[in-house]
Amino acid sequence: MLNELLNPALFRHDTTFDDLYPEHIQEMSQMHWTPVGIAKKAGDFLAIPHARVLDIGSGVGKFCITAGFFHPETTFCGIEQREELYTFAEITKAEMELPNVRFIHGNLTELEFKDYDHFYFYNSFYENIEPDSRIDYSIRTSFELYDRYSRFVYQMLEEKPPETRLVTFHAPDAQIPPGYQLVNNSYNRVLKMWIKQ
C-alpha cells in the first residue's frame, strides 16, 4: 500500500518535488539529481519485493525517496559522501515517513556490498574528471579517485550473482562488467537497465 500521508502529485513534476529542499539544492537539481520520471521508471525495474536496492552516491535522496514511495515492499538505501547532502536526504525522508528508505553517510568503498541485491548508478564519479560538473568544494576530486571508485564498483558488480539488476543513468558502458545484459535502453540511450546473466 502506498504511503497515505503523501500525495502522488508530489512526484509528478521535478519543480514540485524539488521544493522540498532549500533553494541552493533546488538549483543543482537539473544537473545532479535524478528527475522524478526517471527515478520512477528505474524504481519500477529494480523493485523486486523484499529486495534491497542501493543508490551508489545518493545525493539528497531523490531516487530513493521517489522509488521508495511507489514500492513500499522494497528497501531503497543510499550512500552519500557529502554530509550536507546526506542530511537533506534524511530530513526529507523523515518528513515523508518512508520506513523502507534509508540513507548512510560515508564513502561507498566502506560499504558491505553483500547487503544489497540491486543497484542504481547515476554516473556519480564524473565530477572527478570534469571540473564543470563539481557539486561543491567539500570533497577532494581527482582522476585517481575516478579510477579507484570505478574499479571498485566494477568489481563489486562482477561478484554479484545472476539476476542482479542494475540501472545506469548517463553512465559509460565501460563501467559495467560484460556479464550484464542490456534489457532496456531509453531517454536517448542515457537510461539503461541491465540484468546479470
Site residues (vs ligand SAM, CB under 6 A):
32-34, 55, 57-59, 62-63, 79-82, 85, 107-108, 122, 124-125, 135, 149
Report the alpha-carbon distance of residue 127 to residue 57 in Å, rounded.
12
Residue closer to ligand SAM (CB basis): 88 or 180: 88
Amino acid at residue number 80: E
Residue closer to ligand SAM (CB basis): 107 or 175: 107
Q: Smallest distance, Å, CB 85 to ligand SAM?
A: 5
Q: Smallest distance, Å, CB 191 to ligand SAM?
A: 11
Asked if residue 122 lies in contact with residue 96, where contact means CB atoms within 8 angstroms, the answer is no
Give the distance between the most distant pair of CA atoms in the chain: 46
> CA torsion, points 167, 168, 174, 178, in degrees to nearest 10?
10
Residue closer to ligand SAM (CB basis): 106 or 197: 106
Q: Smallest distance, Å, CB 120 to ligand SAM?
A: 7
Point out the residue whose Cβ comes nearest to ligand SAM. Answer: 57
Residue closer to ligand SAM (CB basis): 123 or 179: 123
Cα 141–126–140 angle (5° rounding)?
10
Cell digits of residue 33: 539529481
